[in-house]
Structure 1
Amino acid sequence: MRVMASIAPPDPSAGGSLDIVAAISRWLSALLTVRTTVIVLLACIGLVLIFADQGTGKPEDHSKSASSGQSASGIAAPLLPPGVQPAATTGPEAEMARLINDSIAIVPAGRVAAKPFFWAGNMADRERATDCLAATGYYEAGTRAADQRAVMQVVLNRVRHPAFPHSICGVVFQGAERKTGCQFTFACDGSMARRQPSAAIWRQARITASEMLTGQIEPAVGNATHYHTDWVHPAWSSQMNKIAAIDTHLFFRWRGNIGEPQSFTTRYSGSEPLIARLAGLSIAHREGLLTADAPLPVVPFGAAALPSMRPENALTAAREILPDQARAPDADVFLVTLDKAGADGFARQAELACAGKTTCRFLGWTNPAYKASQFPVSGRAIDTLSFSYVRQGASDAGKARWNCNEFPRGDRAQCLRRGG
């Protein structure tokens, strides 16, 4: 039986949520059958509760935590390793660094595309090189292929430059034996122990690395040999040529001839070391699993796939051998210990040593503990260099430069230019 009535719907502003529910119930009861009223009443109660919740005055939270990988805009944000706080990229110090970095202009015409790198070597070395390059791309740049290529290009540029080791894994893990000496942060800050990429992400990073080893280049960074993020400002960055900015990474090359394309002439060694720290990710870096030209064994992905290798032990250096590319200086290179009291005579001493030589490099240290004795010169030795004299041809009179932190000079052009 239907009962018709001329009743206006209740005014929601007349009372609280429970009054609204009661009013709706009475109104519907006058219009509908009991069974229909119950169904509709339940739906209305849900709607009223939703409206009541929206009326509490609390703003809707669209953001997610950094660990979720999503920002408020819904765009994927970089995942942070456990224990690392996102405050490192924000705050007064980070903003000041950004202001300083923004004030350093990109050098016009400072970016020249690097030459393609074409792999030449046996299968085992190729696999090791690929995985070292892939790890650098993932840990230093995240998961975007374009960002990974930029970082990988820096690695390949270093391989071709005489200031660095001449293998890919040697460049990537240079200085990793020292807590503060690694050239790429992930190699010694524990990132590999804290987090690993998924199988799909690792596969994609290896594909990008393989492309870079077979002729792909990243022209956006040219011959850059250094980079840093925009929320830090290392002292060396203002002493180098800034040549590119990609997202939050800034790319640099040395000033002068040492940073010009003609300096990238060192031949790749063709030999890659076994890096035990990569054993959890890479079959090629697991002892005894790969020989020069044997097919790849079928081993599941990741350190967890090896029952006898706990994750914490997978990254322990059971046998870690960086490439022994060290060599004695050439006849036109002098690595010497200098008397600190005779700084004004350093240039004359260098000219005498280089007499009759068309090209010559004279590098000196006042602290014999830091003096280099072979190539490549370590980062520590470069950082503590006291004096250098370089002559680069018959028409070059030679340039003498001092470490102005150690020996202040009236003319800043006589100061050593610091890299990093």
Structure 2
Amino acid sequence: MRPLQLVLAAIAAPAVLVPALLVLNAPTMPPAPRHRPAALPPQRIVPQAEVPPVEPVAYVALSLDAARAYNAEVPYVSGPVPPARAYRFAGSDTDRARATDCLAAALIYEAGDDTEGQRPVAQVILNRLRHPAFPKTVCGVVFEGSERRTGCQFTFTCDGAITRWKPTEAGWARARTVAAAALNGFVSSPVGWATHYHTDWVVPYWQSSLDKIAKVGTHLFFRWTGWWGTGGAFRMPAGQAEPAIPKMALLSGAHGDATGITDEMIAAAIAGAPEEVADGETATVATGDPDSFLVTLRPTTSPSLYPTLAQNACGARARCSFHAWLNPRETATALPLGPEQIASMTFAYLRDKPAGVERTLWNCQQLARPDKRQCMKVQVFMRASGPAPAPTPVPTPAPAAKGPVELDGVRRRTPTPAPTPAPAPAAKVPTTPAPKTPGTAPGTTPTATLP
């Protein structure tokens, strides 16, 4: 071997041997601690002979950061995640309309106005529809357990959200488009046969018994472990008619024959949550007409929510009126409304579907609005100043006389005419001041009234 080769070999040998020795003799590092909550139950694989139970939504008591740390450490399932089979709705037109709106409500309340986030949620709902552990209608899946404060599968159906907030028309239309596509065969492939999901800042108790398969946005998606998470378990047909859901009547005309929109629900929407309705609540509903609502609003309620409260109160009624006041002492308790009650009204909603009328109006003397078309009409009450014109029995043109200016919309009490005195050349006819309009003050007093 040449001397140069010997030198290179001598240099290369330590460069190879030293790292190898370090790797072989490296100290054993303890595994990083997992953020597994102590209260989380152990994983259980449900056998094929037993239909897995549908557990109520309940969360482990963890901070937001701790929950996210734990969720990040939960591994994704190993192996393939096959996409679900396309689902095609086969019910009547009425059933399709109800299913579309129930599905759209779940999408926008669960995933917001986000098409990409809504599609996997729709897939989960349709997967549940075909699984024997869940109801066999779209609306049944969405509103499962909603009759209870706990036990609902989708929280918006039992936490009062559907009575407190209403999506915009554009957002609702987009959600219905996503829902219609899902019912016509669209498949969200990334979530496969997922039947559960949750946001990454919470840890539900059922999570430990399921396989984590995907993440879309802030939602984590899971399927049942074992056979119940495979395509063979999802073969149940949807053989029942879609029910009319009372709560959906607040959003959907397809559920308009539903009943159950009660005064308590309306008061709950105004107060902020269904469970808050109790004696002493400032939210009150009083009406002598089932299609008219006279309401005292809480001062803390945002004026932007007034239309939603009104629409929720009116539900599916073809004709409806909603009148609201901020001052409980000014709230009317019966119809018809008097001038003072109209003047002090804060907000009004008027609906007449046969006539194509739907209006929301604010008292802009109390609440400024950027669009003046949203303001109630204003009538001006003015006390007359100056002498009244002298009466004359002769129907001939008379000189212009000082007196009250007649304005459109002025409400006046017509006085009983006094006897006309006989004309006399030297006599002065005394004048009488114009009658005062009840409830007005000197000058002008703007009063908001309905058009």
Q: TM-score, normalised by structure 1?
A: 0.48
| Structure with a larger share of its residues in helix | 1
The structure with more radius of gyration: 2
Q: TM-score, normalised by structure 2?
A: 0.45
